[in-house]
């Protein structure tokens, strides 16, 4: 539905009932220096995703909070603080994290190497965010999350040209350092082409293998896994 953080879909049914209006983004950008930009509000996700994979973040997720973004001499990164869920009288669920990527010329293309770390605060012992559904994540008998989620990710992407078309291959690995088991996942894939004008084309393939507690299920690919 329109209120799902990992989906922008609206279902056309319900006997012609009135449809919800959803606000995707409402944010500000403030350029601190030539290299640093501060963004606040409900924003486009500043995270770089190798090969645009959705292992950690579904493409429709627009987080809420603050992000300090770096772009300088081949280095890109961000520091983020997000408000995930607010509770009356209880500790809120927050997310703090950071990412750093370096783009290097290698052969006839560019290699992008990156690391990310996301630390969720107060997920463990709470019901899953948004609608209380666990997706794949492990919960106890009352439906509360068993583990905390502190995610470390490493990724590589190589971009070049093949048959005069943009071509890339990538790999990404994630591990939840707080889970006892079923704590890791990976995504690999490739893409060819770019849709930029009539007659242009694009094709891609991504393979993901993600353990139950490797990522926060409500925020990764909404079309992947047991939903």
pTM of the predicted model, to two decimals? 0.87
Task: Give the phi and the psi of residue 52 in degrees, each rounded to 5.
Answer: 55, 30
CA angle 51, 56, 58 (to 5 degrees): 75
Q: Which two tokens stand for residue 219?
A: 């925020």
| Residue 29 phi, psi dihedral angles, 5° rounding | -120, 135
For 50, the 3-state DSSP assignment is helix
In angstroms, the CA 203 to CA 220 distance is 21
pLDDT at 1 over 60: no
Structure tokens at 133: 């559904």
Strand ranges of the sheet holding 26-31, from the earlier edge strand across to the other edge: 26-31, 36-42, 64-72, 75-85, 93-106, 109-121, 150-162, 165-176, 184-193, 202-210
Average pLDDT, the chain: 89
Residue 210 pairs in a beta bridge with: 185
List, in order, residues 6 or more apart from 15 with CB less than 8 Å away: none
Q: How far apart are CA 221 and CA 206, in angstroms?
A: 12
pLDDT tens-digit map of 174-222: 999 999 999 999 999 999 999 888 989 999 999 999 999 999 999 998 8
pLDDT over threshold 90, residue 10: no
Q: Which pLDDT score, from 0 to 100, does residue 23 have? A: 76
Q: 80 forms bridges with which residues in the sheet?
A: 67, 97
The reported pLDDT for the residue numbered 14 is 52
pLDDT per position as a tens digit, 76-121: 999 999 999 887 656 889 999 999 999 999 999 999 999 999 999 9
């Amino acid at each position: 539905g329109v209120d799902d953080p990992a989906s922008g879909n609206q279902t056309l049914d319900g006997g012609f009932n009135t449809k919800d209006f959803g606000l995707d983004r409402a944010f500000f950008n403030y350029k601190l220096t030539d290299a640093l930009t501060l963004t606040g509000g409900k924003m486009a996700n500043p995270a770089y995703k190798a090969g645009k994979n959705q292992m950690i973040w579904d493409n429709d997720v627009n987080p809420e909070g603050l992000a300090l973004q770096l772009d300088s001499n081949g280095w890109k990164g961000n520091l983020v603080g997000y408000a995930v869920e607010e509770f009356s009288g209880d500790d809120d669920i927050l997310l703090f994290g950071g990412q750093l990527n370096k783009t290097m010329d290698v052969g006839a293309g560019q290699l992008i190497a990156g690391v990310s770390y996301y630390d969720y605060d107060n997920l463990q012992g709470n019901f899953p965010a948004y609608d209380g559904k666990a997706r794949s994540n492990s919960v106890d008998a009352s439906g509360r999350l068993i583990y905390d989620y502190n995610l470390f990710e490493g990724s590589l992407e190589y971009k070049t040209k093949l048959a005069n078309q943009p071509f890339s291959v990538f790999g990404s690995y994630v591990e939840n350092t707080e889970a006892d088991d079923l704590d890791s996942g990976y995504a690999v894939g490739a893409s060819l082409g770019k849709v930029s004008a009539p007659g242009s084309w694009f094709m891609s393939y991504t393979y993901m293998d993600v353990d139950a507690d490797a990522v926060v299920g409500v925020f990764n690919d909404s079309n992947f896994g047991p939903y």
